[in-house]
Structure 1
Amino acid sequence: NLLREGLDLPEVSLVAILDADKEGFLRSGTSLIQTIGRAARNVSGQVHMYADKITPSMALAIDETNRRRDKQIAYNKERGVDPQPLRKRIADITDRLTREAADTEALLASTPVGGSGRSQSRGKSPVPGKAGRGTAGAMSPGVVGIG
């Protein structure tokens, strides 16, 4: 169901469709083609459809998948393309997340309490006709206003 909801999961190499012969929204020809397409993004992707009989929707999905596969193989052969899986270390992803967290903390630590870094004593408001927050004399020094 996660695949059906549109999550992009490029590392999926095996998709199992249970009760594939039960016709309905999640087992329509279009839905089966989309689900099979998710596994097809992986070079060694496989789809296993469990069913008692082949329905018209299943036949449509299988035929369409075979048609697309033949077309892709011909394209690759014509241009000398050898499909290779994307090799990305998990450490690369976690390192990036750690760096982003550190950058965010550093940014938050360097931002003044007022938020934007601008002086709030100007008395000007971004909205015409409204008095600005933090106008002179409105608060005691050192008190942060919430507006």
Structure 2
Amino acid sequence: MTSRSIGQVLAGAALVAACVVGCSDTVGGTPVAAPGQAPGSTPETTRTSPSPSTSARPGQPTRTPPTRTSTPNATGSPAADTTCDEYIDLDEDGQREVITAIGGENDLVALNPDLWITITSALCTFAEPSTPVRDVLEGQGIR
């Protein structure tokens, strides 16, 4: 196992652990208004979404998902037929395209594609290189 693979597995494990720990704690007590906020009013919140990286990581080649002339899957996207070996070599934008294509077939993946990019990288280190990524995400192909 390469150091990159180990790093991806550790990153995936840390992410899962953080989600489990963060979701299991409840905070007791009575809610208190922030300074300057009237009791019973709702504070305004501003949400920003992170912008995806537009360039490859330094030292890594930029690759896009493979293109194929015929696809057996329902979406018709060549990215949905990407194998684990191909997926690991893709840059983040290419991996996002593969996960988005698979999300068209899988509602759970469609809910949070960014999370599944990391999880897929970790799972593909354990699967056979020729295993399609969509099969790995469905729990098939891991030995």
TM range (shorter): under 0.3
**Of the two, which has the highest radius of gyration?**
1
Q: Which is richer in strand? A: 1
Q: Greater RCO between the two (CA within 8 Å, min separation 6)?
A: 2
